[in-house]
Amino acid sequence: MSELVLDNEFFAPASTDLIDSLIGQYKQLRSDVEMMAGLINTHQASVYHFLEGNQRQDRHVRSVSELFKLEGAIASLNATFWQKALNMTDVYEYMPNNRREEWNEQIRNPQGVKAKRTGQFDPESSAQRKEWSVEPLPDFEEEAVRPTIMALLNARRQFFSERVDGIFRALSGEHVTNRPEGFGKRMILARVYNEWGSTEYRTAGYIQDLRIVIAKFMGRDEPRWNATDSALLAARRRPGEWLTLDGGALRVRGYLKGTAHLEVHPEMAWRLNCILAQLYPMAIPPQFRQKPKRKLKDFVMMGKPLPFAVLGELAKMKVERHTPWQRERWEEVQQPLTTNPLNRSFGYGDYDKTVREQAEKVLESIGGVKVMAGPLKNIAIWEFDYEPASALDEIIASGCIPDQKSHQFYPTPPPLAELCIQLANIGPHDNCLEPSAGTGGIADYLPGDRTTCIEISSLHCKILEAKGLAVIQADFIKWAESSAQAFDCIVMNPPFSEGRAVAHVQAAAGCLKPGGRLVAIMPAGSKGKDILPGWNVDWSEIFSNEFAGTSISVVILTAERANHG
């Protein structure tokens, strides 16, 4: 028995009322088509003159009887409504490639395609040839629709298993070192890239299929094809380096010779192997169907990847011109929207407001600053003080914000910032400090006329200055070592990686007056540690998934310095 069961809650329900509605629409439209066909065929001579008089010189117009055949119109109507019915369910998402192609062929050829006949019997199998190579679609009538949809819904578990099996067979058979027993070992894939450096559609398509299956397990929206293509190209641009995909569920390493290595995280591999075990109970060894007990330090799954819709929005960003230009020599020179070469913009066109807002938060988290440009100040340009291409590649591929990028800038969520201010218990005359202030996520809640911000990014400093805050551009730890300034209250959200949170807190402690209070957002793993010996320290509860695109859990430290300090 596999440990993973695909229960009914895994699959989306289909509404009976919607099926009834579709059948009603079909009957009404079919009645109209039949009436129109009868009317036109009764008046063929008149209709002919409409067609003849309005044809283009280089076009041959078929006869009225050919153009208005009732059979062709009904077949098109059937195809439209069968596709609508399938789209109401999630069946198509679970179908393996061969079944999807069979369905697509029937939709493309609703009247069917006759099998080619060279004789009555197949010389290889001695079996009688089929009449149809593509079966005609049945009429969209109640007696056909309801049983067909129910049968497809009931087959989703089987379809899903077949799809996983198809992916495994396609990806595991290319190299002698690949494992035949199931997912779980590095797969070496040939022909991922062609000689021009582009992805091979077929191989990349199987990786896309694998990502879709994993997205189902993770409860995420479905990745678009261009997301997989751009991720594989990003892996090729950094040959020999692992690129994390889908919150750590996968990772890929591309090579210039056209091959790639693919690894499935053990947590996800056992789920996939449980699906394979439903098809081949005796073929998948037990160790491949058990949830892994040992965690790999260098292969970590994140808890909260960003939606693929947000990643797609980021993937569409482009670099704007940053120097004056002109289309033709005689035309007026055009001024650029920005003079910063390290920029990105979303371009023009319609967009989902909620998705765009989430994408902008990601850009903020990696140090981007939004500047409104153009004559009407209505065009958003995102400026950076470093080239963001590598960071964006990682985010688009993994769905997570890489810890090592930019200045470890994660904007403090308002609920956490407000809680920190409450804990700080700021007095009416207290002077305040926010170290590594970013764009002022905490400083926004501090008394503006009594607050100093230290920030390393020149772009962030401009934002803080625009808010009317006193700003010092510097690396905080270096500044603290040489500064004689002291403050009554310090509230901070320090960078976390490589132990920097503790180093920043200890540096901040040296800037606090006796009797002052320090409040800091810290990694959850810091809780209970004696990082400020001799201080009165209190730790909050742990907060999880507060920062979009990361799996960081945090805790708030409140520390008071004794008056005699």
Q: Indicate whether 3 pLDDT > 50.
A: no
Model confidence band, residue 291 (pLDDT cutoffs 50, 70, 90):
low
Q: Indicate whether 402 pLDDT > 90.
A: no
List, for residues 488-544, the tens digit of each pLDDT value: 999 999 988 777 889 999 999 999 999 999 999 998 888 989 999 989 999 999 988
* Domains (range + CATH), the chain: 8-115+129-154 (no CATH), 168-288 (no CATH), 308-398 (no CATH), 414-560 (3.40.50.150)
What's the rounded Cα separation, in Å, for the pair 353 and 219?
A: 22
Model confidence band, residue 420 (pLDDT cutoffs 50, 70, 90):
very high
Q: Indicate whether 73 pLDDT > 80.
A: yes
Cα–Cα nearest to 183, from 93, 250, 236, 282: 250
List, for residues 37-46, the tens digit of each pLDDT value: 888 888 888 8
| Mean pLDDT to the nearest integer, 384-412 | 73
Model confidence band, residue 340 (pLDDT cutoffs 50, 70, 90):
very high
pLDDT reported for residue 177: 52
Contacts 24+ apart (CB under 8 A), 498-504: 500/408, 501/526, 502/526, 502/529, 502/531, 503/477, 504/435, 504/436, 504/476, 504/477
Q: Indicate whether 297 pLDDT > 60.
A: no
Residues across the chain: 565
List, for residues 97-143, the tens digit of each pLDDT value: 678 788 888 999 989 888 876 555 555 554 556 788 888 889 998 88
pLDDT reported for residue 181: 63
List, for residues 15-31, the tens digit of each pLDDT value: 556 788 889 999 999 99
Q: What is the H or E stretch that residue 382 is in?
A: strand 379-383
DSSP-derived secondary structure for 81-132:
HHHHHHHTSSHHHHS-HHHHHHHHHHHH-TT-EEPP-SSSB-TTT-PBPPSE
pLDDT reported for residue 393: 87
pLDDT reported for residue 264: 87
pLDDT reported for residue 303: 54
pLDDT reported for residue 4: 45
| Mean pLDDT to the nearest integer, 308-323 | 92
What is the distance in angstroms between the CA of the first residue and the CA of the last residue of the chain?
65
| Cα angle: 431, vertex 436, 442; to 5 degrees | 60
List, for residues 210-261, the tens digit of each pLDDT value: 888 888 888 888 888 888 888 999 999 989 889 889 888 889 999 999 988 9
pLDDT reported for residue 481: 92
What's the rounded Cα separation, in Å, for the pair 245 and 395?
A: 9
Q: Indicate whether 392 pLDDT > 50.
A: yes
What's the rounded Cα separation, in Å, for the pair 223 and 230?
A: 12
Q: Indicate whether 548 pLDDT > 70.
A: no
Q: Do residues 352 and 373 make contact, with C-beta atoms less than 8 angstroms apart?
A: no
Give the SS3 label for residue 35.
Answer: helix
Residue 413 has φ and ψ, to the nearest 5°, of -60, 140
Average pLDDT, the chain: 82
Q: Do residues 232 and 254 make contact, with C-beta atoms less than 8 angstroms apart?
A: yes
Cα–Cα nearest to 437, from 458, 454, 425, 449: 454
The alpha carbon of 128 is separated from its chain's Cα centroid by a whole number of angstroms, namely: 49
Within 8 A by CB and 6+ apart from 53, the residues are none
**What proportion of the chain, given as a percentage, has pLDDT over 70?**
83
417 class by beta-carbon count within 10 Å (0-12 exposed, 13-18 middle, 19+ buried): buried
What's the rounded Cα separation, in Å, for the pair 122 and 20?
A: 43
Q: Indicate whether 186 pLDDT > 90.
A: no
Q: 553-560 and 536-544: which strand pairing? A: antiparallel
**What proportion of the chain, given as a percentage, has pLDDT over 90?**
31
